[in-house]
């Protein structure tokens, strides 16, 4: 049968869209290749780095159970995944290797296990072993995802009280934008040089998450069994929905940092303050948090741009300690064995709408301080509001258990 010329032309026009020319599809549009790794030689590779080197952008490197003692540098977009129980797929940092890849900006100078420099790298479902003097994961570029990864150093970090770790779990720096999710670690974590990190749903067994500016970082829904978070050098941070446990200062904010701290729970009797804020250029809003069984719940030193509102604070010595700061303390519930709020020299805070129950003095107004105290419900067994000589407070409209007393 003859095909009309007009129909033949139409078929030629439609053909590319119907798959006749599908053999011309670029390789980049094809399904990614999976490269397998096994220590016993039963897979494509015995080395994780060899599989990464052979992979193209978008490929998957699947690692079978075993311990791989090597440094793995990923400078392309791919997925590195464990293929087995997380605890049995182990990449271990060698102790005698270089501190950074050739041509890369140095990190801590320590040998490392994983160096992530691709734009969209995913590392998931494996364990990184971190001997003393090494670093687990380094991120220097892009937006890597670290998910369901155990970064394991020494057993002493998980079994004992707070110890400063002799290794680093992660170094995240140089404008990288990592997400660390549903993972666990027990060593020091450094966020530096403009990195912006999202931590969510993790478990921390020890040491500090130390976060420097000028990046933007959030820590959410994380359990800190031991250890702390420290915000420095102008970082913008959100600390939300976390649980802190331990016997140290759990959250420190200083050096011009800007922080929103909300909906967290702080448990444990710490040596000083559960939350410590200092520096005249530091900005913080502390709202909706619960502090249990602390020596001092919140300490504010020489910081003027701070609001503490809607928190429930329980302390052995002081609910809130204020030194040289002009801050707003509003709508908090404070229970303390000694004093609810202590105001030291040079402080001019506004204290309003709080409910305070203290074993000794609900509010102590120290020498050379000038607070405004109004609209509070205050009760202290010795004095509700104790004013020391040389103080000049403005007091009015409070509901008190006893009269104001001067010392």
The residue ranges of every structural domain in the chain are 33-226
Q: What is the CATH number of domain 33-226?
A: 2.160.20.10
Report the alpha-carbon distance of residue 61 to residue 114 in Å, rounded. Answer: 14
Q: How far from 33 is each of 60, 79, 80, 142, 353, CA to CA, in Å?
A: 6, 11, 12, 22, 62
SS3 199: strand
End-to-end CA distance of the chain: 114
Beta bridge mates, 322: 300, 343
Report the alpha-carbon distance of residue 125 to residue 204 in Å, rounded. Answer: 17
pLDDT on residue 12: 37
Instruction: Quote the pTM value.
Output: 0.90
Sign of the Cα pseudo-torsion (273, 172, 138, 201, in order): positive
Q: What is the helix, strand, coil percentage profile of the chain, to 5?
A: 10, 45, 45
Residues whose CB is less than 8 angstroms from the CB of residue 77 and which lie 6 or more positions away in sequence, other chains included:
57, 58, 118, 119, 120, 121, 142
Nearest to 260 by CA among 279, 228, 290, 284: 284
Q: Give the pLDDT confidence of 19-42 residue by residue, as tens digits.
A: 433 444 444 457 899 999 999 999
pLDDT on residue 247: 76
pLDDT on residue 249: 81
Burial (0-12, 13-18, 19+ Cβ within 10 Å), 247: middle
- H/E stretch holding 7 reads helix 5-14
Q: Show the low-confidence residues of the chain (pLDDT under 50).
A: 1-28, 407
- H/E stretch holding 262 reads strand 258-262
CA atoms within 13 Å, Cβ hemisphere of 122: 15
pLDDT on residue 108: 65
SS3 358: strand
pLDDT on residue 17: 41
Burial (0-12, 13-18, 19+ Cβ within 10 Å), 170: buried
383 phi, psi to nearest 5 deg: -160, 140
Chain centroid, CA 83 distance in Å: 28
């Amino acid at each position: 049968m003859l095909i009309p010329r007009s129909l033949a032309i139409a078929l030629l026009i439609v053909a590319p869209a119907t798959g006749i020319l599908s053999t011309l599809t670029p390789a980049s549009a094809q399904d990614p290749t999976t490269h397998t790794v096994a220590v016993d030689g039963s897979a494509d590779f015995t080395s994780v780095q060899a599989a990464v080197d052979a992979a193209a952008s978008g490929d998957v490197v699947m690692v079978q159970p075993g311990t791989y003692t090597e440094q793995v540098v990923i400078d392309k977009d791919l997925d590195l995944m464990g293929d087995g129980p997380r605890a049995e797929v182990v990449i271990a940092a060698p102790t005698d290797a270089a501190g950074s890849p050739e041509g890369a900006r140095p990190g801590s100078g320590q040998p490392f296990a994983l160096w992530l420099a691709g734009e969209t790298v995913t590392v998931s479902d494996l364990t990184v072993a971190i001997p003393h003097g090494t670093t687990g994961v380094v991120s220097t570029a892009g937006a890597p995802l670290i998910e369901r990864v155990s970064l394991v150093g020494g057993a002493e970090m998980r079994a004992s009280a707070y110890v400063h770790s002799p290794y680093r779990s992660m170094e995240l720096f140089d404008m990288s934008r990592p997400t660390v999710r549903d993972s666990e670690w027990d060593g020091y974590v450094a966020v530096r040089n403009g990195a912006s990190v999202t931590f969510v749903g993790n478990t921390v067994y020890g040491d500090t998450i130390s976060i420097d500016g000028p990046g933007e970082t959030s820590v959410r829904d994380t359990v800190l069994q031991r250890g702390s978070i420290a915000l420095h050098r102008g970082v913008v941070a959100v600390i939300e929905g976390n649980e802190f446990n331990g016997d140290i200062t759990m959250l420190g904010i200083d050096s011009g940092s800007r922080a929103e701290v909300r909906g967290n729970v702080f448990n444990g009797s710490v040596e000083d303050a559960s939350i410590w804020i200092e520096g005249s250029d530091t900005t913080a809003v502390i709202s909706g948090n619960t502090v249990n069984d602390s020596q001092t719940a919140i300490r504010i030193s020489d910081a003027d741009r701070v609001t503490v509102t809607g928190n429930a604070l329980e302390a052995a010595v002081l609910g809130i300690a204020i030194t040289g700061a002009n801050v707003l303390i509003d709508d908090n519930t404070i229970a303390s064995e000694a004093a609810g709020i202590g105001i030291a020299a040079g402080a001019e805070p506004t204290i309003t709408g709080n409910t305070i129950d203290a074993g000794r003095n609900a509010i102590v107004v120290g020498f050379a301080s000038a607070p405004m105290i109004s609209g509070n419900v205050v009760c202290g067994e010795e004095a509700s509001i104790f004013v020391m000589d040389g103080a000049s407070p403005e007091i009015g409209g409070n509901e008190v258990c006893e009269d104001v007393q001067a010392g």
